[in-house]
Amino acid sequence: MIVVEPTHLKAIADAAEAAYPNECCGLLVGTGRRPVRVTRLLPAANLAGSSGNRFELDPRVRLDAERSLRGTAERVIGHYHSHPDGSALPSPTDLAEAWEPELIWLIVGVVDGQAIQTQAHRLDRALGRSRPVALATRK
């Protein structure tokens, strides 16, 4: 399970709508194992630009995050990104590029510029499959 504050979900949905018709992306930072709790978001530039149907998270954001989190209780727990005019299910591209099966992928489906659905997944590139992760909110 992943626990996310409503303000974080709103920030991700807002970013997805602002990036439309392109994908937004960023990192999820948090704590815990079961459940995993999101403590903050680190938005990142989508280096794939205006390709519309893919994202490439700026690696500098990831490296800087890993450095700044050393020695703390927080860690990078996953990614978030949007699917313009698509669902919140992992795409074949997502599965092909999922290198870290322990990370959570929070995906927002955006239709006509409106965020309509958010789902969490763990992706296993080696097995070519995903599994849903329960998503809960806290106030």
pLDDT digits (tens, 9 = 90+) for 45-85: 888 876 667 788 889 999 999 999 999 999 999 999 999 99
Q: How would residue 94 be classed by pLDDT, with cut points 50, 70 and 90?
A: confident
pLDDT score, position 46: 86
Q: Are 36 and 77 in contact (CB under 8 A)?
A: yes
Domain extents for the chain? 2-137
DSSP three-state, residue 66: helix
**2-137: CATH number:** 3.40.140.10
pLDDT top residue among 42 and 52:
42
- Answer yes or no: is pLDDT of 139 > 60: no
Q: Are 111 and 100 in contact (CB under 8 A)?
A: no
DSSP three-state, residue 34: coil
> Which pTM does this prediction carry?
0.91
What average pLDDT does range 106-116 have in this prediction? Answer: 95
State residue 75 phi and psi, 5-degree precision. Answer: -155, 165
pLDDT score, position 123: 84
Q: How would residue 92 be classed by pLDDT, with cut points 50, 70 and 90?
A: confident
For residue 120, how many C-alpha atoms fall within 13 Å in the half-sphere facing its CB? 22
pLDDT score, position 52: 61
**DSSP 8-state class, residue 91:** P
- Answer yes or no: is pLDDT of 26 > 90: yes
